[in-house]
Each structure stands twice: as structure tokens, then as C-alpha cells.
Amino acid sequence: MSFHTYPLIFVLAQLIFTYGISSLVIYQLFCQLLNAQGDSKKRMLAYSLGVGPISISWLTVMLFLAFPGHANWFYMAFINTIFFVPFILLRKQLYDFPLIIKDVFANIRTYCSQDKPAFFILMLGLVLIACSFILAIFLPYSENDALEYSMLAKIMYGQHSARMYPILDGTQFGGFIAPFTHPLGYVGIFIWSYLIQGTAQHFGLIKIVSPFYAFCIFTLIIAVLSHANRRLAYLAGLLFIATPLLLNGVIRHQIDALRIYTFFTFFMFLRELPFWEKWQIILPAGLLLGLCLFSHSIGILAIPIFWFIYLFFSREHFFTTCKRLILITFIGLLFVVVRYAISFHAIGYIIHDGTIVRSVPSLHFYEIYELINGIYTNAQKWVNGFFSLFSNTLYFGVSYSILILSLLFIRKHHIYLLIKDGISSKDYTEGVFAVSVLTVLCFFGMVVLSILIKDDNFIASGRYMMSVQPFVAILGAWGLLKCCEKIQIKYQNILPLLGSSLIFFMALSFPINNVFDYKLSLTTLFNSNMAKAKHVQETYNLLAYFSKNTSPDSVLLSFRNAEAAYYANHRYVYHTDRKMLPVYTAKDKSQAHQALMDLGINYLAVPNHPLSYIDQSYLGELIGDPAFSELVYQNGSSRLYKLYDNPLSYSATELQLTNPDFSQRNKDRQLMNWAASWNKRGNGIAKDVYDGVVLCNTSPSHSQTALFSGNSYKIISEAFNRYLSRQTTGDIVLEPEQTYQLNVRMRGYGNVMVYLAEYTKDGYLGLQKIWHTISYGNESKNKQVQFQSSSLASQYRLVFVLDGQGWINLQNIGIRQIHYSHKPIDPNEQKKIELITQGWRVTSPNPVRTYFDRLKKVLGFRSVHLNFVDNWQVRSMEGSEVELNITPDASIPYVIHSPLLPYQENDVKKEFHFAIKGKGQAVIEVLANSIQGQSYHLFKEAINLTDHYQTVDINLPAELFKKYINFNSDLANYQLRIYYLKPRFVKVGKINVKLNPATYG
């Protein structure tokens, strides 16, 4: 983190104020209003733990609305004063605060010393909390939703105003739009973080917001259950924080922890209402409801659930109940009435997420969205929507599954007490369970009702389904402990230990994958956000290329909003901007092209996932037609196209494919040259189709059917990617690093992915996804996509995959190589291809990832390219010399490999001569490999690189080789390797290797 404006001591002081003192003030106010004593003060402390920062957020947004344009100190002084005045005036409420804290920790120590399994469970939960803070700080801030919130906060901070929101026209802000109407709870905390750190040029303090609120929920769960059973409390806390999808959202800076916290805190506070006859109880309850509404649009659900629970399950006098309902709701709405009024005036809705372009009929936006997310049919809505909570433990953990198990232990007296006492039970913990049961039932009832009326708002995102996760964790922990009590074994305590350990390790799937994928290590922790994100997220590589290789006046059509706002460094148009309406309503391809030209757009950054805006408009035809768009860069299946004012002149060479129209069949009507694979009963290939081939998936649960070239027809009884990884050749030959066009005539309804399985002379390289599209309609359509071939592969197989329920009729396919007359052959690219053909490679090894790659091979996968990288360049020099250079912006190791040179005993020429320069240090070694698989270092030396070339001469005498030749070892080959790691103190590393013909020829 870097703070340009304020001293570090000031930032730390404001950090303590934000996440400590502000919540203490809320605690003081609660205690003063209610005259709380004893255990009540402990509960008030638990309720107020995270209320301070979100209260600061609300005040910040209100000040930005009421008094825009003032200096930072004005807002900071105002808010600090608002909190420090009651902090001082109500200081008597803090006199016993040290004793309360001491008593809390003493009780924890005492109980954990008596109950070792409880201590173990608590430690597992705290480890996950600690991991969430560490990973949230060091993982890149690169998720789309989180970036949109931070970009909106950055704009508001830059203008010291919140009056521009919602942002419907991106012209004023470089292309960024924010057409949604979410209240600004999360954004307000970000604005305040930028204010106290003095800059919005770095993410800085906003990275700790999500893990902080995850910690607050974890603590509140323990606090409300500790009165009865601490083992139950710790297990419930663990079940919550160990929810894989939620934990992943925390470490990837999503809003979920904040909105779940405010929702959970408000409903836990309902338990207090029957205890307090004082009318002042409505003030903290109204505050918590208001902050719940302020944190996210989904908070509006709290009002009907609150009315239902309190009206029917509070045992207070009916008049008192109604009065409290009305007053608490009124106070809560005061926190969002201004935002609702602004949203209604700007958009016509108080809650809305989307723009007018979604309503274009020809886009079929909502139907395509359902198709992509596997909730298109009624069966899918239930199986992949509601019931996925209970079956998809990889995402939702085991809490929901255990919730079903808990039903086995419900007895008549439990139901009787719920009906008799409701949330007014004299036993505090019984009231907590009552609130949890009723909240979960109400929420699930809303989900079921929404499915019945064919509304997808609840099931469209798994993150929305987790809104009641803390309540589910509480009930699940109860059921799990009941189950452990029923199982009588000799070592009874081993059951909670094993169960909690299993829950803990299941939760690590997302964090471990994030660490591996983003290549986090001690050397990469402080790499830039962009450098980390480029390892995984293809969009960042596209934006880096666009930013570096286009003129300043270029305009990008981006399908990613905040990423382009942060990293394109150019003006852009977001695809849902209302200015795009003429493009989506165009009557033909030329009209769509002209509409883009009118907007000044000359580049398109197409993501690696399907969108109705492309598939159901003429944009798809434009980017598939080489006359209108030139594919200038590809990373994975994300592509950057350049648009021209007038159609380009090009020529095309048609590739000869085997059985491209699927008409060649054997006597059993089975396809020639095509094989199939599927993983669910009811899926497969329809035989009796004479116009092409039909792939069909009938199962509503997630399933795949694959069709791939290069085999006489047969049904593969294993996953297609595993089968292809064991093959060694392909049936399609493509020239390296060239542009091709794939043409497919198809119809049907389904989610279609197209891959190229890549092969070299060494075997299988891997799968390259070149297209992800949606077919929607019975009418046959010709669809095209441009793609670039690999620099390493020489042979390919074409793979079509139908993902999820649906059917696709493939009728004809074709592949053409595209040649532009305006595009001369790049001699440097030619040299790079020559080096690759000779066997030169660059890899970026990751030792831990390599271990798992070996494990994959044990399981039946075969791959030789797992660490290959392509971001290196070659430059022709004087004479026949070439320069190989790498300029990494991340501190990860890069290794330059020469071709494997065969060892011949009589060959006396074993020399390497080259020159090297750069920044940092390089390690040069020559490695000999035996036939038996052993490796030996023939030469190893570290060189400090400078800005000038240093000559390296390596002479390997025959005696050196003979030293490693014996009865158990015969040398097969040897190879030059150059290791390089970017120094931490430089932003961009550099290594240049100058090769002469004797070395690389």
C-alpha cells in the first residue's frame, strides 16, 4: 500500500477509529439508550462490532450528497467529530469495558482448556479468518463487481460528490457507467478509505473491508450461541466461514460479507425486542434495519421477513407489536429514502439492475442468461437453482446438507415451543434458534415462490442464495452435534474433530486454487495488481496489449466495465451503454458497422464467455468476418479485434477437412472421423439425422456431450479431455501463429464451446478454447469466429462441446486461413517461429503447481505444456544473429530452454556461445539427461546482468560427460537453460539473450 498524502501514523490512527472506535461509540449509544447491564452489555458489544464502519459509510455518502466539493479534511473532521463527541460524553459506558473483554477471553480460555475439541474447532475457524485477511490483501483486486464498486468510489472521491449516481452515460467518465440502483453502503466505505489514505490511485485499505465483515459475522455467531454451548457456537462459526463460495468472495473482495452481516445482525437483534419494554429499543433496531437496507438492494427483503416473524411470532401485546413494526420500519427507511427517491427520478425504479439495451427483443437477453446459467427449463430452475444449495458442496459447503440432517432430530416439543414462545422465549439461545428457523423458512419460501412464478432473481446467482448463510450455519451446527451425540463410540470426541477437519479442508479449495493460479509466493506478493491478474484473467492481457499498442485516440468497445475503466487507459464504450442501442437494433451487418463507426469505436475486446449482445446481434457477424474486423491479439479465448472504416481486402485458403458436413457414415449410420463422449444417461449423439449431427443433453443437472475429430466413430466412456490427452496426433494441420476463420452452420438451443486439442511431435499440449457461443433457435444459421493458431502446436483436433441441457444440430463446418494484403510478414515473428520449430522454449515453472500436474498425470491426464509461456519476443539483428527477450512485470521465474541436443560420444563439439544483458541476475546451467530419467548439472553459474551485453562461452569437455556414464546411467541428451527472476525493486524486468548461428542453428 502506498499513501502519497498523509503520514502513515495518521492513516493508522484513522484505521483504528474506523474499525474500532466508531463501533465502540455505537456500543455506548446502545447501552445508554437501553441502560444495559451485565450480559446485556456483552450482547450489545457483539451487535455493534461492525456497525461503526457502515455508519461512517452512510454519513460519508450523505455528506457527499449534501455538501459536495469540499476538501478531504472537511469530511474527515465532520465524521470524526460526530463520533468523538458521544465517545467522550458517554465515556462512563466504557468504564467496565476492560472487565467485559477480560471476562470474555477468560471464559474462552477456561472452556477451551476443559473442552479440547471446542478449542480445535475455534482454531480452525480463526485460521480461515486469518487466511481471508492475508489473501484479500495480496490477491489482485480484479473481480468485476468489486472493481465496479471501487471505480464508482474512485469517481465519487475524485469529485467529492455522490450526485452523479446512477451513471447512465459513460461519456463524462471515460466510458464507465453505473446504471444500477444499489444503495451505496459498500461504496461509502471505499470512499472513506480513500479519504483517510489520501488517494484513490491504490486500492489500499478497501482490501480489508470484506474480511473484516466476515470476521464480524463469525464473532457474532459465537457471541449469540456461547450462552448455551460453546462447542456449538464455535462449530457454527466454522460452518459459516468454511462455506467455499463465501470464503472465495471474501478473499476476492466481494460485497457479500457486508450485506450478509447487516442482514444477520438485524435479525439477531430481533431477539432483543421482547426483552426490552423501553420504547428506546426501536432506535437501535431501526438503525440496524436502515443499515441493512443501505448495504445492498437485497436488503429490502428484510422488511417482509421482519413483519412476518415479528407479527406472528412475537408474544407481546398486539398493539405494541404493530407500533414497533411501524416505527422500526419507518426509521429504517429513513436511511435509504433519499437514495430511493434519486433512483426513481433517474431510472423510474427504486431498485433496478440493468439498462435499456437489455429490453431489445432480438437480444433475448433474459432467455440467453437462463441458458448460460443452466436455469432455462423448469427442471433446471429446481435442480441447478434451489436444490444446488444442498448438492453442490464445492460451492455451498456442507451446511445445507447438514440442515436436512437436522430435520431428523426435530421433535414435537421443538415445534410446540416455536409456536408457543416464538422469538419471545425466556431462554436467549432458544430465541436465537427460533429467529434462525423462521428467517431460513421465510427466505426459502421466497425462493420457492420466485421459481413457481418463473422469476430468476434469487437463483440467478449462488451468492444471493447465501443471504441466510449464518442462520443455516447455526442450525447445521445444532444438527451436526445432535448427530455426534447419537453415534456412540469409544472415543466420542473424535467425531467433532474429524467433522470439523473435513469442513475446514473442503473450504480450502478456492483459496488454494487462487494461490496457485495467481502464482502467489514470497517473491510475487508485492507485484502490481495487473501483473498478478494477468496470470489468470485473460481480459487483463487484452487490456495491457490494447493500452500499449494502440494510438491515444483509439476507442474500445469493452464487455468488461470496471476493468476497462482501470486499465484500458483509453476512452471506451461499455456494451450496455444506451448509446449502443443503434448497434443492437441494426437491420444488417453494414448498419451495425456504421453504428460502431458513428460512436468512434475502432477496437473490440471480446471476452471468453458467451453474451447475448454478441450472439444475438450483428456484432457476432462483424467480429467473425475478416473484411470488417481484423483479429490483432488473442489470449486464451479472449480476443481483440480492430475495426476499419471500409471493408478490408483479404484472401482465404480453405483447409481440407475430413467429413466436414457429417455426411460420411458407415453401414450402421455412424459418423466417420468423429468420436463422441458424454457423462450422463440420456445424453449422446442422435444417429438417425441426415442433415448433420445432433448433440443432445437431456439431464437438467450439469452435463456435457462432446464431439471431436480424428477418430473413426466410437463412444468414449471417459471425459473427452482425458481421452484426448492420451492421444499423440491430430487430423488438422495449422500454420503457427496465423489467423483462421471457423465457419459453423448450426441450429438448436444450447451452450456450445469449441476447442482445439493441440499436439506437437512430443505429444499432447492441451486444450485451447477458441469459441464459446449460444445457439438459440430452430432456424439454421451460419456462425463464424476468428482465432489464432498456437506457436507451439503442429497438429490439432476440433472439439465441439454441448454444456448443460439442450440440443445442437451441427450441419457443416469449415476452416479458412486468412491472408491480408495490407499486412506484411513480420520478420521477427518468423524468427520466433523458426526458434520454436528448432526446439527453443520459455517456461514459467511453479513447483507446487508442478506437483499437482504430476498428480493429474497419475489420474490419466497427459500434458507437456503446463508451464509454457508465449510472452517472449525475438528480434532480428545484424548478420544472422537474433535477440530473444523477456520483459516480465511479475516476480515469477522464467526459464529459457535450448533444444534438446542428442549426446554422441564421438561428438567433440559441445559448446555454447551467446551474449546476455538485462536487469537483475540470471542463472545459466547445462543439464544432461540420462535414458533412465536422471538429470546431472554439467555447468552452472550465476551472472549479474547489466545494460550491456556480456559474452558467455561454455565449453564442455568430453571427460565431463563420461563422468556420468556408468552401468546404471546412459546419457540421452543435454540442454542449455537460463533462469531469470525479475528483481523486486524494478517495476518491469528485462533479460535479452543474443544467439549466434552456432548456438541456435
For residues 697-714, average pLDDT = 85
Question: 626, 648, 670: which is the final residue of a domain?
Answer: 648
Q: Please check the confidence at residue 467 and state whether its pLDDT lies above 70.
A: yes
CA 980 from centre of chain: 30
For residues 956-961, average pLDDT = 82
Are residues 814 and 858 part of one domain?
A: no
- 383: phi > 0 → left, psi -120 to 50 → alpha, else beta; which? alpha
Is 627 within a domain? Answer: yes
Poorest-confidence range of 435-444, 657-666, 684-693? 684-693
* E runs forming strands in 931-983: 935-945, 950-955, 971-980
Q: Please check the confidence at residue 1001 and state whether its pLDDT lies above 60.
A: no
Are residues 909 and 783 part of one domain?
A: no
Distances (CA, A) of 35 to 31, 115, 263, 280, 991: 5, 35, 25, 10, 69
Smallest CA-to-CA distance from 292 within 274, 266, 270, 313 is with: 266
Q: Please, are residues 891 and 524 in contact by the beta-carbon 8 Å criterion? A: yes
Predicted local confidence at residue 23, as pLDDT: 97
Q: Please check the confidence at residue 2 and state whether its pLDDT lies above 50.
A: no
Is 356 within a domain? Answer: no
Are residues 157 and 280 part of one domain?
A: yes
Poorest-confidence range of 23-37, 382-396, 737-751, 892-906? 892-906
Q: Round the CA-based radius of gyration of the chain to a whole number and report it.
A: 31
Are residues 157 and 69 part of one domain?
A: yes
Predicted local confidence at residue 849, as pLDDT: 54
Question: 648, 682, 716: which is the final residue of a domain?
Answer: 648
Q: Please, are residues 22 and 83 in contact by the beta-carbon 8 Å criterion? A: yes
Question: 648, 671, 698: which is the final residue of a domain?
Answer: 648
CA 575 – CA 264 distance, rounded (Å): 36
Are residues 847 and 797 part of one domain?
A: no
**Max mean pLDDT range (536-545, 905-914, 965-974):** 536-545
Reported as a pLDDT band with limits 50, 70 and 90, residue 932 is confident
Predicted local confidence at residue 495, as pLDDT: 82
- Counting every residue written for the chain, the total comes to 1001
Predicted local confidence at residue 859, as pLDDT: 53
Q: Please check the confidence at residue 383 and state whether its pLDDT lies above 60.
A: yes
Is 691 within a domain? Answer: yes
Smallest CA-to-CA distance from 532 within 211, 145, 992, 888 is with: 888
Q: Please check the confidence at residue 761 and state whether its pLDDT lies above 60.
A: yes
- Amino acid identity at 907: D
CA 718 from centre of chain: 29
Q: 197-217 pLDDT, tens per residue?
A: 999 999 999 999 999 999 999
Is 428 within a domain? Answer: no
Predicted local confidence at residue 900, as pLDDT: 85
Predicted local confidence at residue 998, as pLDDT: 57
Are residues 895 and 781 part of one domain?
A: no
Q: Please check the confidence at residue 113 and state whether its pLDDT lies above 90.
A: no
* E runs forming strands in 414-461: none
Is 357 within a domain? Answer: no
Reported as a pLDDT band with limits 50, 70 and 90, residue 361 is very high
Are residues 883 and 975 part of one domain?
A: yes
The helix, strand and coil proportions of the chain, stated in percent and rounded to the nearest 5, come to: 50, 20, 30
More confident residue, 786 or 413: 786
> What's the number of domains the chain is made of?
4
Q: 54-102 pLDDT, tens per residue?
A: 999 999 999 999 999 999 999 999 999 999 999 999 999 999 999 999 9
Is 389 within a domain? Answer: no
Are residues 658 and 643 part of one domain?
A: no
Mean pLDDT for the chain overall:
90
Q: Please, are residues 362 and 584 in contact by the beta-carbon 8 Å criterion? A: yes
Are residues 641 and 493 part of one domain?
A: no
Are residues 728 and 641 part of one domain?
A: no
CATH, residue 679: 2.60.120.260
Phi, psi dihedral angles at 677 (to 5 degrees): -145, 135
Poorest-confidence range of 649-653, 828-832, 951-955? 828-832
Q: 259-289 pLDDT, tens per residue?
A: 999 999 999 999 999 888 889 999 999 999 9
More confident residue, 386 or 827: 386
**Max mean pLDDT range (450-454, 491-495, 855-859):** 450-454
Is 136 within a domain? Answer: yes
**Max mean pLDDT range (7-16, 103-112, 392-401, 667-676):** 7-16
pLDDT above 90: percentage of residues in the chain = 62
For residues 950-973, average pLDDT = 80
Residues 6+ apart with CB under 8 A from 290: 58, 331, 332, 333, 334, 335, 336
For residues 641-664, average pLDDT = 92
Q: Please, are residues 836 and 1000 in contact by the beta-carbon 8 Å criterion? A: no
CATH, residue 951: 2.60.120.680
CA 280 – CA 35 distance, rounded (Å): 10
Are residues 770 and 640 part of one domain?
A: no
Q: 131-177 pLDDT, tens per residue?
A: 999 999 999 999 989 999 999 999 999 999 999 999 999 999 999 99
Residue 36 sits in which domain range? Answer: 8-345+488-505
Are residues 552 and 493 part of one domain?
A: no
Is 830 within a domain? Answer: no
CA 37 – CA 235 distance, rounded (Å): 28
For residues 544-572, average pLDDT = 94
Q: Please check the confidence at residue 793 and state whether its pLDDT lies above 70.
A: yes
Q: Please, are residues 622 and 628 in contact by the beta-carbon 8 Å criterion? A: yes
